[in-house]
Homo-oligomer: A and B are copies of this chain.
């Protein structure tokens, strides 16, 4: 029987991950047991939270060196030992970085395309889309004419969040790290303004683009970016914390913004974990897919081809060099 391909975590990265922290391995096609399905993987999702997992510190558990690297995928059922799934079904699972996997049917769910590319189930219609949707719907309390600021603005969480905020009446500003990303958020995702922190002092950029202060900040970064924004919050600002990119590559635990900044602004700071908002998934998929079809929501993907390039693509993402949702297409 044909061998399959897996990517193994070779070692815990030191700082920004390198392609060499991962290695390819061939292994025999797994045999699904009772209650399991065999999946042929089409798309692998690369996400910042995986950096926490390979340090051994993430709320969803760590990945040990020598193990198959963790990650969400979209694939096709090629053998089913579960009444819930038929051969040919498209499924989302946590199969990890591999060409095929046998997984418990209870950990997989069927994916609808909504007439859009299946890879979107890992981006604007998947976990990042749900993070953005739940954050805006449940925590951001967007009011008309709010100034909405987001970091990592060309990524799948930031760009979707800002576009939903715009549709709710907010003025949107994005923080990005390249002219290409700045152009995309302005031209395609229709942000009102952009700050390229590599070309402009971040604090100056916030003052320039948010002259009346920041009403809502959607943060995936932490560290100095979060502090800089908190210095310029409007009264009654809302700050949504959903990631710690500034910390993932570091051994230090970075502290939060000075509480005096939160008090001064009478701000409301909310921790967001997407797992809590599963009940919104169907609503999110319906809304986001409709907005994509109508042209109200843009998305972009950074696609690498083949598992052999997954490590390098992940290293690129973790140094901020990806542009859009990082996906690996597996032939």
Q: Are B266 and A271 in contact (CB under 8 A)?
A: yes
Complex contacts, A257 vs chain B, CB 8 Å: 255-256
In Å, the complex CA distance between A16 and B266 comes to 27
Residue interface mask A2-17, B partner, CB < 8 A = 1: 0000000000000000
**Chain A interfacial residues counted at CB < 8 A:** 31
Any B CB within 8 A of the CB of A167: no
Any B CB within 8 A of the CB of A186: no
- Total copies of the chain: 2
Instruction: State whether A271 and B276 are in contact (beta carbons under 8 Å apart), knowing that A255-B258, A258-B253, A258-B254 are contacts in the complex.
Output: no
Which residue, A247, A259, A266, has most C-beta atoms of chain B within 10 A?
Answer: A259
Any B CB within 8 A of the CB of A269: yes
How near does chain B come to A88, taking the closest CB pair, in angstroms?
Answer: 38
Any B CB within 8 A of the CB of A83: no
In Å, the complex CA distance between A222 and B258 comes to 9
Q: Which residues of A263-282 are within 8 A (CB) of B? A: 263-273, 276
Any B CB within 8 A of the CB of A59: yes
Residue interface mask A225-268, B partner, CB < 8 A = 1: 01100000000000001111001000001111111101111111
How near does chain B come to A129, taking the closest CB pair, in angstroms?
Answer: 19
In Å, the complex CA distance between A222 and B272 comes to 22
In Å, the complex CA distance between A244 and B253 comes to 22
Q: Are B258 and A241 in contact (CB under 8 A)?
A: no
How near does chain B come to A35, taking the closest CB pair, in angstroms?
Answer: 30
The 4 closest A-B pairs by CB, nearest first: A256-B256, A255-B255, A263-B271, A262-B271
Q: List 26 A-B contacts (CB under 8 A).
A: A59-B264, A219-B259, A222-B260, A226-B259, A227-B255, A241-B262, A241-B263, A243-B263, A247-B260, A253-B258, A254-B258, A254-B259, A255-B255, A255-B256, A256-B259, A262-B269, A263-B272, A263-B273, A264-B271, A264-B273, A266-B270, A266-B272, A266-B276, A267-B270, A268-B268, A269-B270
Contact residues of A with B, CB < 8 Å?
59, 219, 222, 226-227, 241-244, 247, 253-260, 262-273, 276
